[in-house]
Chain A
Amino acid sequence: MIRQPSTAAQLYAWHADAVRNGVTMVHDGWPECGWYCTRLVKGGPFVPVKIWVEREVDWDTGELLGPERMVCDCDGQRRDPERLWSFLKPISKADYDALVARREALPAMRATMVAMDLTATPMRIR
C-alpha cells in the first residue's frame, strides 16, 4: 500500500497542544511524539525523555518502505514508549534542552534511580 510519511506537524500536534494548553486527553498505551520529562523513582531527579518516529523512506518516491515506528530515548537509553507513556510530562523543546544541560551541570541529577537529597548539598545559583 502506498503511504506517505507523517508530517512533523501531524506527529507533534498533540505535544504542541499539550505544552501550549496543558494536557487535556491522554490515552494509555498511545504515546505521542515530543519531548518529555519524568522521574524514574519517587523523589528522584527529572530525566529527559524524547519520543519520535523512525521510518524508512524511499527518497526517490517519498513513500514509506515500512511502518513508522515510535521510539523512545529515556536518559540516554532506548525504552518502550508505550510502557513509559503514562508517566511522562510534556515539556517544550527549550525546557528539554535546559534539562539536559542542567544534568551536565549538576552531577547529583545523574543518579536517577535514587531519591535526590536536597539537604545534603545546597542548590547553588550557578
Chain B
Amino acid sequence: MNDMTAPLGHNLPPPYDPAVLEAHARSTMAFLDAAGEYLDLGTIETEEQAGRLNDFITGARGLYKKIEDARKAAKKPHDDAGKAVTAAFSPLLDRLERTVEKMKPMLGDYLRRKEAAERAEQARQRAEAEEKARQAAALAAQAAARNDISGEIEAERLAKEAADQAKAASREVKVSAGSATGAGRAVSMREHRSGEISNWNGAYYHFREHPELKATLQRLTDAMFRAAGGGEIEVTWAKCIKEMKPA
C-alpha cells in the first residue's frame, strides 16, 4: 500500500450522472443569486420590474421541471429494477399467503371443536364434583351420627376429592395445536376485536377531537369549496376563505 493506492469505495460511483447534477446545480445557484437581487429591491414598483420578476419565476419553474425530469430519468433504472424484483418474487409470496389463509380456518375449526369438547368435559367434571361433595356431606352426617371416626375421615377424603375436582373443572379452557415435530410453535386461538358502528353521529362525536378526523374533514371541506368554482356555498359550519395569489 502506498499513496497511489485508491481508497476504499473509489469504484462505487453514485447512482446518477454527476456531470448532469453539477450542471443543474450551477443553474440553480444562478437563479438563487438572481433571487437575492429581487429581495434586495424590496418591493416591485414598476411594470418593467413586474415583467422581469414574472419572467424570473417562469424560468425558475421551468428549471424546476427540468431538474425534476432529470431526477426521474436518473431514478428510472432503479425503479424498473425494483419493480422487476417485486414482479419476480410477488407471485410466490402471494401463493404462499393465500395458501396459509386457506389453511388457517381448518386449524381454527379444529381448535373450536376441541375447546367445545373440553368445556363439555369440564361441565361433566363439575357435575361429578358436586355429586361427590353431596355424597361426602351425607356420609359425614351419617358418620357423625353413629360416632364413626373412620367414616368421618372417609367423608373428609371424599369431600377433598370433590373440591379438587371442582377446582380443576373451573380452570380457564385454553386449547392449542402443538407442533408435530417440535420445530413449529404451538398455535392457539387469539381474540381479534373490531367495531360495528351502529350510530355514526355518536362515533363522530366521540372522535371529534382526533387529529385524523379533523384532517379528513378539512380536506373534504376544501374540496367542497373548490368544486363550487365561482359559485357560493353557504354552510353553517364553515365559511369560504378566498385568497388572491399569483398563479
Chain A interface residues (CB < 8 Å from chain B): 98, 102, 117-126
Contacts and interface: CB of A to CB of B under 8 A. Distances in A.
Interface of B: 27, 30-31, 33-35, 37-38, 41, 47-49, 52-53, 55-56, 58-60, 62-63, 66
B62 A119 contact: yes
B58 A124 contact: no
Contacts of B55: 118, 123
B58 A121 contact: no
A92 to B, nearest CB: 11
Contacts of A98: 47-48
Given A98-B48, A102-B48, A123 B37 contact: no
Contacts of B38: 125
B62 A122 contact: no
Nearest to B60: A122
Contact of A123 (B27, B34, B41, B47): B34
Contacts of A118: 55-56, 58-59, 62
A122 B27 CA distance: 8
Q: Is the interface of A mostly helix, strand, loop or mixed?
A: loop
Contact of A125 (B27, B49, B59, B63): B49
A126 B36 CA distance: 12
10 contacts: A117-B62, A118-B55, A118-B59, A120-B59, A121-B30, A122-B35, A123-B59, A124-B56, A125-B34, A125-B38
B37 A125 contact: yes
B34 A122 contact: yes
B52 A123 contact: yes
B28 to A, nearest CB: 10
Nearest to B34: A122
B53 A125 contact: yes
B37 A119 contact: no
Contacts of A102: 48
Contacts of B41: 125
A98 B52 CA distance: 12
B48 A122 contact: no
